[in-house]
């Protein structure tokens, strides 16, 4: 927070939160300057205490919506979420993909019918052109695996920071071009 006000969101699994202690983990995340948490495997039906603790320290509580999520569940998720909704753009596992899902426009419209929260779309978005296409229907684009891939490719190189920065800049430029 000394150098940037760009929001920071931790993506974690609940076992890490639980091991540390839910209250302690949330308090420490807030003290560290985190803006929100996406606990990937914590369903809203099991998160009453967690959500109360998050509200107490003004952290955003982000939930996932998948292509297979029924309308009734989308309604539940958006009522309990704060910050934004993370739409998983396709079924399967994350990682680099050659194509983006064809149903992103339809699904983001479906989610928007239930909420005014911003929608971030991620899962398999691998390059600037894919990010540009996704950004036409999303408020944010997540390129996590693509950045991890850049780090893996250049991890031992003195060029690491430059290469990752160039990749991230190219994605940002593509998204801003729409």
Give the three-class secondary structure for 95: coil
Check residue 92 and give its pLDDT.
60
Residue 39's closest CA among 27, 28, 54, 24? 54
Q: Mean per-residue pLDDT for 146-166?
A: 95
The tens digit of pLDDT for each residue in 9-30 reads 999 999 999 999 999 999 999 9
Domain extent listing, the chain = 1-61, 62-178
Phi and psi angles of residue 43, each rounded to the nearest 5 degrees, phi first? -75, 150
The tens digit of pLDDT for each residue in 96-154 reads 556 677 899 999 999 999 999 999 999 889 999 999 999 999 999 999 989 999 999 99
Q: Which of 3.40.50.880, 3.20.20.70, 3.40.190.10, 3.40.50.300 would CATH assign to domain 62-178?
A: 3.20.20.70
The tens digit of pLDDT for each residue in 43-95 reads 999 999 999 999 999 999 999 999 999 999 999 999 999 999 999 997 665 55
Residue 132's closest CA among 100, 162, 89, 87? 100
In this structure, the dihedral spanned by the alpha carbons of residues 143, 153, 3 and 10, taken in order and rounded to 10 degrees, is 50
Long-range contacts of 25-28 (CB under 8 A, 24+ apart): 26/50, 26/53, 26/54, 26/57, 26/59, 27/53, 27/57
In this structure, the dihedral spanned by the alpha carbons of residues 118, 109, 44 and 73, taken in order and rounded to 10 degrees, is 170
9-12 and 85-88: which strand pairing?
unpaired
The tens digit of pLDDT for each residue in 25-48 reads 999 999 999 999 999 999 999 999
Check residue 90 and give its pLDDT.
72
């Amino acid at each position: 927070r000394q150098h940037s006000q760009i929001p920071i969101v931790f993506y974690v699994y609940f076992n890490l939160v639980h091991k540390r202690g839910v209250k302690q983990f949330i308090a420490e995340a807030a003290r560290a300057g985190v803006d929100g948490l996406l606990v990937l495997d914590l369903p809203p039906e099991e998160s009453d205490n967690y959500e109360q603790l998050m509200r107490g320290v003004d952290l955003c509580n982000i939930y996932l919506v998948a292509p297979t999520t029924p309308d009734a569940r989308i309604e539940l998720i958006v009522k309990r979420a704060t910050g934004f909704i993370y739409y998983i753009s396709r079924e399967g596992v994350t990682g680099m993909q050659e194509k983006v899902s064809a149903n992103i426009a339809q699904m983001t419209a479906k989610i928007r019918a239930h909420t005014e929260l911003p929608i971030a779309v991620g899962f398999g978005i691998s390059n600037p052109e894919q990010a540009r296409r996704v950004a036409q229907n999303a408020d944010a684009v997540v390129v996590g695996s693509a950045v991890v891939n850049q780090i893996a490719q250049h991890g031992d190189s003195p060029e690491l920071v430059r290469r990752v920065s160039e990749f991230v800049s190219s994605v940002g430029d593509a998204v801003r071009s729409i």
